[in-house]
Amino acid sequence: MLTTLLTQIENNICTITINRPDKLNALNKTVITELSTAIDEVYSNSEIKSAIITGAGPKAFVAGADISEFLQLTSAQGEELSRRGQQMVFDKIEKSPKPIVAAVNGFALGGGCELALSCHFIYASENAKFGQPEVNLGLIPGYGGTQRLTQLIGRNRSMELLMTGNMLSAQEAMTYGIVNKIVTADELVSKTKETLQLIQSKAPLAIKAVIECVNNFDHTQQGYDFEIKKFGECFATEDLKEGASAFLEKRKANFKGK
């Protein structure tokens, strides 16, 4: 029984909706575990030919991770959190033999942006906003963000976004090459389904091969492993504790570089 997700299969398309609108659909351990289960179903269920990942409510796709879970983690525990999430969800989405598309309405920040980036492509509503603001917490992206963003938009733009923590509007994200199409919020899921129905009319093994070949382009595990290690190291810093505490207390963080 899924408690944080809604799933529906229609016309061979599985729509997975992260359903925590009161928390802006933030990722926590339960969401990660249930997303893993839902993606396994996409892999194994022959009725499902493609999938959409979206968020409930008008405000957010996924507005990040549940920062309250970060405060007590050691460096090793932070590394394990990153590795577990990548293996259970983000890598599994990227490597899915069936197309998985992100339908982003509202905020896609931190882990939410990384979730969208792990999908095979992204459709966005006009009010969508993308960003990797982890540096505000004394952290870096831990779910593939440094790697997928750089592959997608190039070194310089990736460096700027990751170091400033700035947000991009839907239009800016489309200009950067993060977003494939912008539609109204009302049309977002239906337009995504239209494209998936077109893809579903093609040869499934050819689609699978396309995904494998594109993912294999100059693509090694080394960068992800390095990111996992560096993410874990952040949990040994005073800045992580200060950044997470400041976020939860709704105050400005006072970082000391320790």
Instruction: Indicate the residue type of 31.
Output: V
CB 61 within 8 A of CB 108: yes
Per-residue pLDDT of the chain (258 residues; tens, 9 = 90+): 889 999 999 999 999 999 999 999 999 999 999 999 999 999 999 999 999 999 999 999 999 988 888 888 999 999 999 999 999 999 999 999 999 999 999 999 999 999 999 999 999 999 999 999 999 999 999 999 999 999 999 999 999 999 999 999 999 999 999 999 999 999 999 999 999 999 999 988 889 989 988 887 666 677 788 888 888 988 999 988 888 899 899 998 888 888
d(CA 80, CA 223): 16
pTM for the full predicted model: 0.91
Strands (DSSP E) contained in the chain are 5-10, 13-18, 50-55, 60-62, 100-104, 107-109, 121-125, 129-131, 167-169, 181-183
d(CA 112, CA 153): 17
Q: Which of 34, 94, 134, 227 is catalytic?
A: 134
Instruction: Indicate the residue type of 92.
Output: K
d(CA 133, CA 172): 16
Q: Which of 34, 79, 94, 114 is catalytic?
A: 114
d(CA 143, CA 150): 13
Q: Is 134 a catalytic residue?
A: yes
**Is residue 216 packed enough to be buried (19+ CB in 10 Å), middle (13-18) or exposed (0-12)?**
exposed
d(CA 17, CA 54): 5
- The upper half-sphere exposure of residue 104, i.e. CA atoms within 13 Å in the direction of its Cβ, equals 36
pLDDT value of position 219: 60
pLDDT value of position 30: 95
CATH fold for domain 5-184: 2-enoyl-CoA Hydratase; Chain A, domain 1 (3.90.226)
d(CA 211, CA 150): 18
CB 94 within 8 A of CB 132: no
Residue with tokens 């590394």: 79
Comparing C-alpha atoms, which of 255, 247, 250, 258 is closest to residue 70?
Answer: 247
Q: Is 114 a catalytic residue?
A: yes
